[in-house]
Amino acid sequence: MTVPAGTAPGAGLAAVSDALRSGAEPTEAWRRVGVIVRDGVPTATSVRAVTGDDALAAAVLAASRLARELGASPAPVLDLVLRSADEDADASVRRATALAGPAASARVLSWLPALGLVLGFALGANPLAVLLDPGRGLALLAGGVGADLLGRWWSGRLVRDATVAGQPPRARTDGTPAMRRRSRAITAGRRVGSLVAPAPTARPALVPVPVVLDLLAAASESGAPVPRCLASVGAAVGGDRGLDLAEAGAEISWGASWAEAWAGRDDALAPVASALRPAWEDGSSPVAAARAAARAVRRGQQTQALVAAERLGVRLLLPLTLCHLPAFVLLGIIPVLVSFVGHGGPG
């Protein structure tokens, strides 16, 4: 989930959770924060309006659907989503702080050529006249502007890559393979009790993997076997990710090996497969393993984001050395020197 730094996206959700724990009906608890409930589940549009984040809204909807399926109070599973949102907000603040310095440096470097021109005029030279002179002047201008634009693009690309590092994908873009899996998902639903995730829509928000693991732990606490947990959580999550979960649960229920059931699934679900495998093959409880895996995924994403922010400062040396400094020389140094030579020095 991508949470804007300095905001509290879970404030309304916390109020709902408190109301539920105090004995309020789910419909009334959601109504207090302006969310409409239909068939025991908040509507997607109204939840997005409260949270302001598509991934967070998707997680809330999945938690609400799972609570309805389990016949339990939505407060505990909603608290799982709240905890995830709080951790994401903290990570977002740390990431923004780490990126602030290198991003500001990239912006300053992009203005080096313009600064050279201004300093040239301040010293009494006329570098612009040199740059507009046909022949070598225009060559200097073209080379300097081209190097500066390349440096701006390069620096911007590095900053963008560092900004999104460690964040889960917003949506799967290969909709065609997901649609090809729909027939298998329908078969899976018949074998597991028709708990199939809804058909995927175009570029839906994905429920983050740590939240999926938390929901699987909550479903396991109800005493359901692993295939049923995967089916229930898959139906609650929906979309491509829900289809993968439902299919995997269906395939192991009719005799496929664990490796076969998870072959070809979304790579992001690898921690789910690893966490639940001992429960299926050895009969151990998946609750502790799922929660530990959720914490590990969150830590890994946060570490990846912070490392990318720290490396950004070093990587920006490349566009500085290969683009911005040459542009500074071509636009801010050589024209000033030529102007001085042509007019016998400053003044």
Task: Give the whole-angstrom CA distance, residue 245 versus residue 237.
Answer: 9
Domain that holds residue 332: 103-347
Which of 187, 189, 281 lies closest to 230 in space, CA to CA? 189
263: in domain: yes
Per-residue pLDDT tens digits of the chain, which is 347 residues long: 444 433 455 567 777 777 777 777 777 777 877 787 777 788 878 788 777 777 788 888 888 888 888 777 777 777 777 777 777 777 777 777 777 777 787 778 778 888 878 887 887 778 778 888 887 788 888 888 898 899 889 888 888 888 776 666 554 433 434 443 444 444 444 444 444 444 444 445 678 888 899 899 888 888 888 999 999 999 988 888 899 999 999 999 888 899 999 998 988 899 999 999 988 888 888 888 888 998 888 888 778 877 887 788 788 888 888 888 888 888 888 888 887 776 545 44
188: in domain: yes
110: in domain: yes
64: in domain: no
Q: How many independent structural domains does the chain possess? A: 1
DSSP states along 76-115: HHHHHHHHHHHHHHHHHHHHHHHHHHHHHHHHHHHTHHHH
72: in domain: no
239: in domain: yes
Joined together, the tokens standing for residue 305 give 């984001």
Q: Residues 109-164: pLDDT tens digits?
A: 778 888 878 887 887 778 778 888 887 788 888 888 898 899 889 888 888 888 77
136: in domain: yes
The helix/strand/coil state of 37 is: strand
Q: Are 49 and 32 in contact (CB under 8 A)?
A: no
Question: What contacts 339, CB < 8 A, 6 or more positions away?
Answer: 120, 125, 126, 127, 129, 130
What helix, strand, coil percent values describe the chain, rounded to 5?
Answer: 75, 0, 25
178: in domain: yes
Which of 100, 89, 42, 88 lies closest to 68 in space, CA to CA? 42
